[in-house]
């Protein structure tokens, strides 16, 4: 399983995160492994995450970086969602050899009444196996 798939599965299957995010019309939890939230999502609380480091990051040995956007109508709810992601993944094994290190980034305010608060979380996955 790839590191990104592993992170997605851990977030999607977490009962703590399931309790905080809304669901899609088909009943799936609003945790998305994509750059944007699908247009079919009409709820407020969601997570979308994606890789942000260069795919060919030859200057950094054994590291992948992801952004997790924790979105909710209220700042407190978005912040709680970000804390749940950090609690779930920080300093935990992410794959056969990688460990996650987390940073909560400054919150992003809604741009208008149709937008939500976003508390981004950065995941750095460092591979211990440097052989």
Distance, in Å, from the CA atom of 104 to the CA atom of 121, rounded to the nearest integer, reads 5
For 65, what's the count of Cα atoms within 13 Å in the CB-facing half-sphere?
12
Give ∠ CA 104-47-38 in degrees, rounded to 5.
140
The answer to whether 68 and 85 are in contact (CB under 8 A) is yes
Average the pLDDT over 33-48 and give the result. 93
Residue with the two structure tokens 């950090």: 86
Whether pLDDT at 128 is above 70: no
Going by pLDDT thresholds of 50, 70 and 90, the confidence category of residue 93 is low
Q: Which domains does the chain have, with CATH numbers?
A: 3-127 (3.30.2000)
Distance, in Å, from the CA atom of 36 to the CA atom of 127, rounded to the nearest integer, reads 27
Residue with the two structure tokens 């809604």: 110
Q: Note if the pTM is more than 0.75.
A: yes
From its phi and psi, is residue 27 left (phi > 0), alpha (psi between -120 and 50) or beta? left
Q: What pLDDT does residue 97 have?
A: 62
Q: What pLDDT does residue 131 have?
A: 46
How confident is the model over 61-80, as pLDDT tens digits? 677 889 999 999 999 999 99
Average the pLDDT over 4-22 and give the result. 93
């Amino acid at each position: 399983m790839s590191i990104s798939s592993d992170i997605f599965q851990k977030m999607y299957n977490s009962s703590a995160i399931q309790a905080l995010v809304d669901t899609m019309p088909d009943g799936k939890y609003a945790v998305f492994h994509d750059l944007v939230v699908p247009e079919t999502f009409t709820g407020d609380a969601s997570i979308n995450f994606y890789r942000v480091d260069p795919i060919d990051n030859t200057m950094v040995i054994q590291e992948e970086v992801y952004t997790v956007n924790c979105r909710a109508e209220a700042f407190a709810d978005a912040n709680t969602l970000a804390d749940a992601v950090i609690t779930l993944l920080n300093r935990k094994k992410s794959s056969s050899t990688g460990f996650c290190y987390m940073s909560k980034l400054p919150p992003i305010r809604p741009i208008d009444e149709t937008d939500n608060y976003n508390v981004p979380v950065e995941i750095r996955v460092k591979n211990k196996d440097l052989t």
